[in-house]
Chains A and B, each alone.
Chain A
Amino acid sequence: MQAFTRLDAQAAPLPLANIDTDQIIPKQFLKTVERAGLAKGLFYEYRFDEQGREKPEFVLNQPAYKNAGVLVAGDNFGCGSSREHAPWALMDFGIKAVISTSFADIFYNNCFQNGLLPVVLKAEQVQQLMDEARGGNHVVSIDLEAQSVTSPSGQVFTFEIDPKRKAKMLKGLDAIGETLEAASAIDTYESKVALARPWLEGA
């Protein structure tokens, strides 16, 4: 997993609530057996018309936001399907952090598996960033160690994050490797359960 420490990047405003994972990456891109290359499907129906031409009005198609590294979005971002293709597509496009008032649970989890930072801020702070991101200077800075977001005008907002998740994100740790260090505890649990609930064995 990619580590996340700090980021200075252009922020793109996406002022809609309930942006679901079907919008982030539609179904036709889920048929891949690879993780890479999903940027082409990111926000496909927002970005392209039926002939596959770019829709100039969509924020990520505008020259000022083409290299955005941060999305500022409405409430409940990432709801819907569990597809990890959503964070894969965002990262493949170059988005490294998403700021919203809230995230759907499974998407939030999936972000931390991939080094994509979901930042939860208060409604008025998200609105402020949304407004500033529409302006000429729309570079925000995110410092994970300090748990802060600095707006283009220099306002600093702090955010909460689970300390374990933060630590893993800062180092880009592999969760499986870490869990396998507890293999003997898993062995013990399994032998205990095999005795207590024998009908589950050999199912």
Chain B
Amino acid sequence: MRLMSGKTLYDKIWDAHVVAEQDGEAILYIDLHLIHEVTTPQAFAGLRANRRAVRRPDRTLAVADHNVPTEGQELGVDAVADDEARLQLQTLGKNVEEYGIEYFPMGDIRNGIVHVVGPEQGRTQPGMTIVCGDSHTSTHGAFGALAHGIGTSEVEHVLATQTLRQTKARNFRVRIEGEPAPGVGAKDYALAVIGEIGTAGGTGYVIEYAGSAVRALSMEGRMTLCNLTIEGGARAGLVAPDETTFEYLKGRPATPKGGAWEMAVGYWKTFFSDEDAVFDREIVLDAAKIAPSVTWGTSPEDVVAVTGTVPAPDSFATPDKRASAVRALDYMGLEAGQPITEAKIDVVFIGSCTNSRIEDLRSAAKIAEGRQVAEGVRAMVVPGSGLVRAQAEEEGLDQVFKAAGFEWREPGCSMCLGMNPDRLSPGQRCASTSNRNFEGRQGRGGRTHLMSPAMAAAAAIAGHIADVRDFL
């Protein structure tokens, strides 16, 4: 039956990159390899120990993002107080120099979070295969590229061979149809999807997002949606490229120019799922029914509408889930049945590879404009790259944030994972635009509530989790 049907977008990208195949395992060619300081030192050490070269330094791009402080970046690695973090950044600097890999170091305006930089530079293109030693590589799927995270051994494998050994995943289509209510966007869609399928619901699949609500999203919105795909267990998310995609890419530093542009667009337009393609699983969501959403627990599937209440552990089906819910409520300092808007906020973090692009900052600034951050709340904005930061400043967004009492910081992963000095203290509650509410993720004992940039800005003003619709 499979032979008779058309191909999915995923099938097409896969087929275009198979170098060799044996017993269901393919050697898949990798078009773009993004690297950063944390998951690569052991890979380069492995290459060196085996006297292997980097096969395609020209298909590799390095940034410094996970460890970097969000101030004083013009000093370069000297701005890094932590000895281990500094050594890791220096090690990356040495490795890229030795192997001839392009690198945007700290302080370079082009530097920033790897998943912001790739698209921004036009290195991310439709129909590509893209990998990086970071699970949020799924972000690049917004361009119709097959993109996913890999471990350090696989980083070494890609450096040495420009390929990856892969078995094919199954096809899963998530259709989001209709028009969202005001104040609802890509982050809410993503949380709604994860809430629906669970954090393991996508395991073994590649998810293609389709439907009128997805088509209507900007590239920034599509990146947010694909970014969070990994939180639903699927390694990669995809959106078929269209005019929105081409418009975003046109004129970027690494995109083709002149006649080559036309040729590339012609090729990119072949990447869509055929009408008669068969998906192994499909769900449909009504955008109009999705409310502004937040997480209450310590797993991204712990989603509740902002108008909702904290669920009771008894409402979960299995013993291990009930045990996890009891633990989560205790960790989060919440009680079953409590309205989620009662949760008082200490810190607001607007940033991360999920939500630190210009559109994210615009939507947060719109809520912050003319208002004040509540007393006792520390609110920070961390743009995704030096270029995003510069554009925001050109638009005066930095002034809006500063006037409202937000800190305006320099780019990096920052408090999304707290590898740099931006961390929560034990017991602090954070409204965060990032991607993981795991225990200790933003700092030991820190309590994370995931939400959209506009919702995080509303929480900053209100001093507790708040419905953004009251601020529109």
Give the interface of A toward B (CB within 8 A). Answer: 15-18, 20, 22-23, 26-28, 30-35, 45, 50, 74-76, 79-84, 87, 102-106, 109-110, 113-114, 123, 127, 162-164, 175-176, 179-180, 182-183, 185-186, 189-190, 193, 197-200, 202-203
Which residues on the B side are within 8 Å of A109 (C-beta)? 150-151, 154
Which stretch of B185-193, B237-245, B432-440 is in the interface? B432-440
- Checking B135, B234, B254 against A203 with a beta-carbon cut-off of 8 angstroms, the contacting residue is B254
Within 8 A of A (CB), among B383-426: 417-419, 426
Cβ of B250 < 8 Å from any Cβ of A?
no
Q: B23–A164 contact, CB under 8 A?
A: yes
Cα distance A184–B199 in the bound complex, in angstroms: 40
User: Can you identify 20 A-B contacts, CB atoms within 8 angstroms?
Assistant: A17-B321, A17-B323, A23-B439, A27-B418, A50-B445, A76-B200, A84-B39, A109-B154, A162-B167, A176-B52, A182-B19, A182-B27, A186-B163, A189-B19, A190-B29, A193-B29, A199-B261, A199-B263, A203-B59, A203-B123
Q: B260–A198 contact, CB under 8 A?
A: yes
The 0/1 profile, CB within 8 Å of A marked 1, for residues 14-38 of chain B is 0000011011110101010000001
Which stretch of B82-90, B283-291, B453-461 is in the interface? B82-90
Which residues on the B side are within 8 Å of A185 (C-beta)? 19-20, 27
Cβ of B76 < 8 Å from any Cβ of A?
no
Given A76-B233, A84-B151, A102-B203, check contact A200 B160 (CB 8 Å): no
Given A45-B439, A80-B135, A105-B233, check contact A15 B39 (CB 8 Å): no
Cα distance A80–B299 in the bound complex, in angstroms: 10
The 0/1 profile, CB within 8 Å of A marked 1, for residues 307-349 of chain B is 0000000000011110110010000000000000000000000
Q: A80–B438 contact, CB under 8 A?
A: yes
How many chain B residues sit at the interface, stated as a range, is 35 or more
A201 to chain B, nearest CB (A): 8
Given A83-B39, A175-B165, A189-B19, check contact A102 B200 (CB 8 Å): yes
Which residues on the B side are within 8 Å of A162 (C-beta)? 24, 167
- Checking B23, B162, B263, B299 against A18 with a beta-carbon cut-off of 8 angstroms, the contacting residue is B299
B31 to chain A, nearest CB (A): 7
Q: A75–B153 contact, CB under 8 A?
A: no
Cα distance A79–B301 in the bound complex, in angstroms: 12
Cβ of B41 < 8 Å from any Cβ of A?
yes
Q: A106–B439 contact, CB under 8 A?
A: no
- Checking B162, B200, B320 against A15 with a beta-carbon cut-off of 8 angstroms, the contacting residue is B320
Cα distance A186–B55 in the bound complex, in angstroms: 10
Cα distance A106–B234 in the bound complex, in angstroms: 9
The 0/1 profile, CB within 8 Å of A marked 1, for residues 133-165 of chain B is 111010000000000111111101100111101
Which residues on the A side are within 8 Å of B319 (C-beta)? 15, 127
Q: B199–A113 contact, CB under 8 A?
A: no
Looking at A18, A83, A183, the one whose CB has the most chain B CB atoms below 10 A away is A18
Cβ of B67 < 8 Å from any Cβ of A?
yes
Q: A176–B50 contact, CB under 8 A?
A: yes
B426 to chain A, nearest CB (A): 7
B132 to chain A, nearest CB (A): 8
Cα distance A16–B233 in the bound complex, in angstroms: 17
Looking at A30, A35, A123, A127, the one whose CB has the most chain B CB atoms below 10 A away is A30
Q: B20–A182 contact, CB under 8 A?
A: yes
Which residues on the A side are within 8 Å of B157 (C-beta)? 175-176, 179
